[in-house]
Amino acid sequence: MVIGAGPVGLAAAAHLTERGLDFVVLEAGEQAGASVSQWGHVRVFSPYRYNIDAAARRLLEADGWSAPDPDWLPTGAELIDDYLAPLAKLFGDKVRLGAKVSVISRLGYDRVRTAGRDDAPFLIRLADGTELTARAIIDASGTYTSPNVLGASGLPAHGEHEVVVDHALPDVLGADRDRYEGKRVLVVGAGHSAATTLLALTELDDTPITWAIRAGDAARTYGGGEADALPARGALGTRLRAHVASGRIQLLTGFFTHRVHATGQGVEVVSRDPSGREQSVTVDRIVSATGYRPDHSIASELRLDLDPVLGSTRALAPLIDPNQHSCGTVPAHGVDELAHPEPGYYAVGVKSYGRAPTFLMATGYEQVRSVVAALAGDWEAARDVQLDLPETGVCSSNLAEAQEQRVGLATGISGGLLSAPLPLATVSAGDGGCCG
């Protein structure tokens, strides 16, 4: 059973098909790539050559599909139209849409019971109460539907759930324009998503913009300007810095979101820093660009061994640590790094990375190739993990900006602006993940 028809879940389906293993893909949304469709207006950094799984390519080409230009950086919408939707179509009714998994267990076994456990099939319960069984679970349900909270300590800010808080990366210059134009907007977060949204907002008239970050300054978001080893980051940072300097964007530093509440004048967002000092801003809309976290609740009856920091498996954590790795320097990994004490359950794709923002589709494709090989009993192939991700270019946003000036920089990737080899540097823990 595969959970999620995103890029990695569908790649798993392609490998299962090639291996002749029966499968079903359960997708909560009403289309393949349902989460990708939420950021359909954003152009990715990595060109198509890295975004198409090898097994998927073979199946699609056998069906008469022509691969898109390998150097093209697609938007999320293009990724769906040109790749994910045709791929899902190949699998017919093996991809079940509107099938949201609410919980997984072992048939007849709660988490405590051991004897005979490994032989019991998995029990999958859907949101509508339907129950299914499977011999293995490939959980590719992503993290997009579980964003981090606004609250600075990782807990929801007081009142956060009582006001409307917008998900990161609204389509400010497209479908969502009316929601922002002429409104006072607060963007919270120091990563590329925040920067993308801020720059888009500056193009709207009569739209006062406030940007709140925990750090004492925005140096990390700005990058090194013209001297930046990463030209695209430098250019983005220079534009952002200029808007802050001109007053177009009001930057609030040392902002630790503590309380949010509606007043007659709008929504008041109150920061309380660790010393107890408060500052506040009143706005009409809040965009939370604070990153994502995995939701392991669907697997809470399974025996998971999670890294206490990232929420990935323990074996994977040191390989993806955003303090040490950018998206282009994560080493290849597969079934051994993804295994939990619960045999047959594998979280793959962006979910496997937990809170690390270093995920690339290409690494997810190698993960599922390895996991499916193991499920087929081909341990030699499963352990022969390989990843061809040159540091240079794979995450570059230079082309993305040139291809479509309207959209900014995608999110979700640490070091996602790599356009030249970058020496590893220690990232300050100051303002959370780099790509919130």
Closer to ligand FAD by Cβ: residue 26 or 55: 26
Task: Tell me which residues in 363-392 interact with ligand FAD (CB under 6 A).
Answer: 364
The distance of closest approach from Cβ of residue 229 to ligand FAD in the complex, given in angstroms and rounded to an integer, is: 19
Please identify, among the stretches 29-37, 62-70, 306-314, 369-377, the one whose residues bind ligand FAD according to the rule CB under 6 A. Answer: 29-37
Partners of 336 in the β-ladder? none
Say if CB 222 and CB 238 are below 8 A apart: yes
> Per rule CB under 6 A, is residue 350 in the interface with ligand FAD?
yes
DSSP string, 166-233: BPSS--TTTTTHHHHTTS-EEEE-SSHHHHHHHHHHTTSTT--EEEE-SSSSSHHHHTTGGG-SSHHH
Dihedral of alpha carbons 83, 67, 138, 337, sign: negative
- Spell out the alpha helix ranges (H) of 30-140: 34-38, 48-51, 54-62, 76-79, 85-90
> Per rule CB under 6 A, is residue 8 in the interface with ligand FAD?
yes
C-alpha to C-alpha distance for 182 and 405, rounded to whole angstroms = 22
Say if CB 371 and CB 199 are below 8 A apart: no
| One residue of 359, 369, 417, 436 binding ligand FAD per CB under 6 A | 359
Closer to ligand FAD by Cβ: residue 46 or 210: 46
Lookup: tokens for 26: 């359960």
| One residue of 212, 251, 360, 385 binding ligand FAD per CB under 6 A | 360
Lookup: tokens for 358: 């270093």
Cα end-to-end span (Å), the chain: 31
Closer to ligand FAD by Cβ: residue 98 or 159: 98
CB neighbours (10 Å) of residue 282? 16
> Per rule CB under 6 A, is residue 410 in the interface with ligand FAD?
yes
- Give me Rg for the CA atoms of the chain: 22
Closer to ligand FAD by Cβ: residue 138 or 286: 138
Task: Tell me which residues in 282-301 interact with ligand FAD (CB under 6 A).
Answer: 298
> Per rule CB under 6 A, is residue 29 in the interface with ligand FAD?
yes
Which positions from 43 to 82 touch ligand FAD by CB under 6 A, shown as an x/- string?
Answer: -xxx------------------------------------
Which residue is associated with the tokens 């809470």?
300
Lookup: tokens for 44: 């990715």
The distance of closest approach from Cβ of residue 129 to ligand FAD in the complex, given in angstroms and rounded to an integer, is: 14
Task: Tell me which residues in 86-145 interact with ligand FAD (CB under 6 A).
Answer: 100-101, 140-142, 144-145
> Per rule CB under 6 A, is residue 328 in the interface with ligand FAD?
no
| One residue of 13, 36, 80, 209 binding ligand FAD per CB under 6 A | 36
> Per rule CB under 6 A, is residue 4 in the interface with ligand FAD?
yes
Length of the chain as a residue count: 436
DSSP string, 6-17: SHHHHHHHHHHH
> Per rule CB under 6 A, is residue 165 in the interface with ligand FAD?
no
> Per rule CB under 6 A, is residue 353 in the interface with ligand FAD?
no
C-alpha to C-alpha distance for 143 and 293, rounded to whole angstroms = 6
> Per rule CB under 6 A, is residue 236 in the interface with ligand FAD?
no
Closer to ligand FAD by Cβ: residue 80 or 149: 80
> Per rule CB under 6 A, is residue 26 in the interface with ligand FAD?
yes
| One residue of 1, 2, 6, 345 binding ligand FAD per CB under 6 A | 6
CA dihedral 127, 130, 133, 136 (to 10 degrees): -20
The distance of closest approach from Cβ of residue 237 to ligand FAD in the complex, given in angstroms and rounded to an integer, is: 19
For residue 350, give the DSSP letter: G
Say if CB 367 and CB 395 are below 8 A apart: no
| One residue of 1, 2, 5, 90 binding ligand FAD per CB under 6 A | 5
Question: Could you list the residues that contact ligand FAD (CB under 6 A)?
Answer: 3-9, 26-29, 34-36, 39, 42, 44-46, 100-101, 140-142, 144-145, 169, 298, 349-350, 359-362, 364, 410-413
